[in-house]
C-alpha cells in the first residue's frame, strides 16, 4: 500500500518518487536498500528510475504476482507531473506484450475521483483500460479490505462460495 496523501504537494518528481519507492520497499519488506539503489541510478530521470525499480527490484525480489495499491490517488492531481505518473503506470500494461514478466505486476488506484478528472491531455490519456469501481453506499472500512471483496465485485458472486452458487 502506497499512501500518496502524506507526500503532499511535493513539486519535485525526484523527491516524490523517492518517497513512493521507500513506501513500496517498506510495504513489501524488500531486502534492497532503496535509498542506495535510487542514488546509484540517478543518471535516469525519475519516471525511468521508477520503471527500472519496479522491473528490477520489485519483480526481482518478489516471485509471483504483485499488486501495488496507490491510496488517495486524487492527491496526485495537482502535481505538475501527474500525467507523467499515470502514463508511467500505463506503460507497464503496454510493455506486457514484449516483457511477459510484467504480467505479474498490477496496480490498483484508490481514491475519490472519476477517470475523467485525471485526464489533462486527452491525446495522452492512460485511462482507457482498467475497471472503475463505483461505491454505491457507505461501507465500513473493514468490509472494503475483506479478503475476496474485489473477487466478488468482478465475478458477481462470492469467490469463496462453491462453484454453481
Query: What was the pLDDT predicted at 130?
Result: 53
Q: What is the pLDDT of residues 107-123, one digit of tens each?
A: 988 888 776 776 666 66
Q: What phi, psi does 7 have (nearest 5°)?
A: -75, -15
Query: What was the pLDDT predicted at 27?
Result: 93
b/e code 7-23 from CB counts within 10 Å (16+ = b) = beeeeebeebbbbbbeb
Query: What was the pLDDT predicted at 86?
Result: 86
From residue 80, give the alpha-carbon distance in Å to each of 43, 77, 111, 116, 161.
21, 8, 19, 17, 46
pLDDT tens digits in sequence order for the chain, 165 residues long: 898 888 878 889 999 999 999 999 999 999 999 999 999 999 999 999 999 999 999 999 998 899 999 999 889 888 888 888 888 888 898 899 999 999 999 998 888 877 677 666 666 555 555 555 565 555 455 444 444 444 444 444 433 333 443
Query: What was the pLDDT predicted at 138?
Result: 52
From residue 129, give the alpha-carbon distance in Å to each of 9, 19, 24, 62, 125.
27, 27, 24, 25, 10
SS3 content of the chain, % helix, strand, coil (to 5): 50, 10, 45
- CA proximity to 24, closest of 63, 71, 64: 71
Amino acid at each position: 500500500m502506497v499512501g500518496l496523501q502524506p507526500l503532499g504537494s511535493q513539486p519535485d518528481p525526484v523527491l516524490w518518487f523517492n518517497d513512493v519507492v521507500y513506501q513500496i520497499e517498506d510495504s513489501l519488506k524488500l531486502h534492497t536498500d532503496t535509498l542506495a539503489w535510487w542514488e546509484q541510478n540517478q543518471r535516469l530521470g525519475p519516471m525511468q528510475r521508477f520503471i527500472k525499480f519496479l522491473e528490477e527490484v520489485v519483480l526481482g525480489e518478489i516471485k509471483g504476482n504483485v499488486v501495488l495499491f496507490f491510496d488517495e490517488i486524487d492527491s496526485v492531481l495537482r502535481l505538475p507531473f501527474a500525467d507523467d505518473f499515470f502514463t508511467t503506470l500505463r506503460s507497464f500494461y503496454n510493455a506486457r506484450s514484449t516483457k511477459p514478466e510484467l504480467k505479474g505486476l498490477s496496480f490498483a488506484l484508490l481514491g475519490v475521483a472519476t477517470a475523467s478528472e485525471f485526464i489533462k491531455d486527452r491525446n495522452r490519456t492512460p485511462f482507457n483500460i482498467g475497471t472503475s469501481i463505483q461505491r454505491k453506499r457507505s461501507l465500513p472500512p473493514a468490509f472494503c479490505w475483506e479478503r475476496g471483496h474485489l473477487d466478488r465485485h468482478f465475478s458477481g458472486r462470492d469467490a469463496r462460495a462453491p462453484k454453481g452458487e
